[in-house]
Amino acid sequence: MWDRWRRWNSPVMGKHRRISQISADGGGGTYRRLLVLRMEGRSQLDRGAAGLDALEARRNGFAQMKNRISLTAMFFALCLPGTALAAPSLEFNVQTHQLTNGMKLLLLEDHGIPNVAMHLFYRVGARNERPGITGLSHFFEHMMFNGAKRFGPGMFDRVMENNGGANNAFTSEDMTAYQDWFPTAAMPLIFELEADRIVSLGFEPKMVESERGVVANERRLSVDNRNESLLQEQLVASAFTAHPYGWPVLGWASDIEGWKREDLIQYFKTYYAPNNCVVIVVGHFEPAEVVKLAKAHLEPIPPQPAPAPVTTREPEQLGERRIQVQKFAQLPIVQVGYHSPAAQDPDFTPMSVLESILLRGQSARLYKRLVDREQVANSVGGGQSPHIDPFLFEFAIQPRSGVETAKVEQILYEELDRVRQELVSEQELQKAKNAALSDFYQSMKTIRDKANQIGYYEILFGDYRRLFSQVDLIGGVTREDIRRVAQKYFAQKNRTVAVLVPEKQTAEPAK
C-alpha cells in the first residue's frame, strides 16, 4: 500500500522523507512524497518484525549497556535548546566484498542478538523509467513476492514467516529495496529465497494482470481519492519539465493500463541484474559464512550490461509556476515547492538544518506564526529528502476555515524572506543542529536501521562511508550557511505553487 504520510528512516535527519508536520492540536505527522511501502497482506509479517525489534531491544542488554547509557545521555542533552555539545563521531566496521558478477556486499557485524537484517538495494526507481512505462519499478516491488521457479506464489512470505522472519519492501524515485529480518539460523534459506526470485521470477500472464489491477487500485485509493496526494503529484509534475522526477513513483494511470509483458521482461533483465544491486547484511553472523553463501547462491547469477545512465538535468526555473486543482474538499490546501540540492551537494546539510528551524515542532518559525500566533492555519508541514539529483524542498499548509489561501501564502513568503535577510540566532541554530544530530543517532538503533542507513548512503550519497562524516557536517553548519542557502533556493522564480480549491458536492436529485 502506498502511503505518502508514512515515516521511514533518513540518512541525514533520521527520517528519510521525514518531512516535518505539526497541526493546531499539537499532533505530529509526516508530510512526504511517493515512498512506496509494500504493506498489503503483510500484517502478520509486520507483527513479526515488531517482535524482532522488541527482542533486539531486550537482548542488547548488558552487552551494550555502557554504550546505550552514553547515547541516552547524549540524546537528552541534544534535546536541550541551545546546548552545544561535541557529538561523538560515528564509524562502523563495514566489510566490503565484490562478487565476480558485480554484486556488492556490505557486511556489518552486530552480535547483540542472534538476528540478521539483510537488505537488497537495487539502483532502480521512477528516475529510471520513461513515458509509457512509468510505475514499473513499483510494479516489480509487488511482482517480486508473487513466486518464482522454486518458491511459487505466496511461498516467499510463508517460508520466511515459518522460519521466524519478516520482510518488507519500498520503491522511491531513486531505488527499490527489499528488506529481510530473520534469525541467524535461517540465513542459508534466505539466500535461497532471494536467489530464486532474481533468477527465475514468474511472468505468468494471469499473475501480471492480477497485479496490474492491484497497483491500479492502489493508485486510485492513494492518489486519485486523496486530495493532498493528488495536489502534490500535480505540484511535482509542474515543477519538473525535463527530469524524470516529474512523473510519479506509482506511475500514470494510462501507463499502468498499457504495460506489455515484453516491457516487464526487459525492465527486469536490465535493472534486477546482480551488477545493479547492493546487498547489506547487518547482525549476528560470521562474515566468511555470508560471503560463502553469497558465492554459492548469488554469484552464479549472470551480470547484464550496465543500465543507461540518467543524463537529463532539469533546466533552471526562470519564473514562478502556479497550478490549481479543483476537487471536492472541506478546506483548501496550499503546497509550495522550491528546487533544492541533491544529496551529494554540500548545500544539502545546511538545508536540512534550515528545515528544523522552519518546520520542526511547535517552536518552529512557521508553526509559531501560522498556527499559534496568527491562527490562520490548521497545520503546516514540509521539508526536503535526499535524492540522487536535485529535488524539491516542499511546504504544505492547510488554512483554517474562512481564511484565504493568499493569506497563508503571504505569511510563508514573509518568513522565508526573513531567514534570507537576517542571520538566525546562535541559540536557534544550535537547537536545530541538536535536533538533526538527535534524529541521526536515533535512526541507527536497530540492525534494521543500520542496514537501511548504510544502503541509503551507498545509493543516494554515492558511498556508505559518507555516513561517518555526517556528524561533523551537521556540526559545521553556520548562521551564514543558513542565510546563504535560503537566499540561493528560496527565490520567487525557483518556486512552484499548487492550490487545492474546494468544490461543493452536488446532491443527487431525489427519486
Cβ-proximal residues to 196 (8 Å cutoff; 6+ apart), any chain? 148, 149, 150, 151
Task: Decide if 510 is inside a domain.
Answer: no
CA 350 – CA 372 distance, rounded (Å): 26
Cβ-proximal residues to 192 (8 Å cutoff; 6+ apart), any chain? 150, 297
How many domains are there within the chain? 1
CA 498 – CA 441 distance, rounded (Å): 35
Give the residue numbers spanning the domain of 140.
92-297
pLDDT of residue 72: 44
Instruction: Give the ranges where 319-404 is alpha helix by DSSP (H).
Output: 348-359, 365-366
Task: Decide if 288 is inside a domain.
Answer: yes
Q: Residue for cell digits 542478538? A: 113
CA 74 – CA 66 distance, rounded (Å): 12
Lookup: cell for 419 = 531567514
Q: 15 vs 40, 231, 346, 355, CA distance in Å?
A: 22, 23, 19, 13
- Kindly report the number of other CB atoms within 10 A of residue 476's CB atom: 12
Task: Decide if 133 is inside a domain.
Answer: yes
Cα 191–Cα 196–Cα 198 angle in degrees, nearest 5? 100
Task: Decide if 214 is inside a domain.
Answer: yes
Task: Decide if 494 is inside a domain.
Answer: no
**Which CATH number goes with the domain that contains 193?**
3.30.830.10
pLDDT of residue 42: 34
Task: Decide if 100 is inside a domain.
Answer: yes
Task: Decide if 210 is inside a domain.
Answer: yes
Digit-by-digit pLDDT tens for the chain (511 residues) are 333 222 223 333 333 333 445 555 444 433 333 333 333 333 233 334 444 444 444 334 333 333 433 444 444 445 555 555 556 667 889 999 999 999 999 999 999 999 999 999 999 999 999 999 999 999 999 999 999 999 999 999 999 999 999 999 999 999 999 999 999 999 999 999 999 999 999 999 999 999 999 999 999 999 999 999 999 999 999 999 999 999 999 999 999 999 999 999 999 999 999 999 999 999 999 999 999 999 999 999 999 999 999 999 999 999 999 999 999 999 999 999 999 999 999 999 999 999 999 999 999 999 999 999 999 999 999 999 999 999 999 999 999 999 999 999 999 999 999 999 999 999 999 999 999 999 999 999 999 999 999 999 999 999 999 999 999 999 999 999 999 999 999 999 999 999 999 997 655 555 5
Q: DSSP letter for 224, please.
A: I
CA 375 – CA 378 distance, rounded (Å): 8
Q: pTM here?
A: 0.86
Task: Decide if 315 is inside a domain.
Answer: no
The phi and psi torsions of 56 (rounded to 5 degrees) equal -60, -45
Lookup: cell for 385 = 529528502
Q: 300 vs 121, 273, 422, 423, 491, CA distance in Å?
A: 19, 12, 59, 58, 52
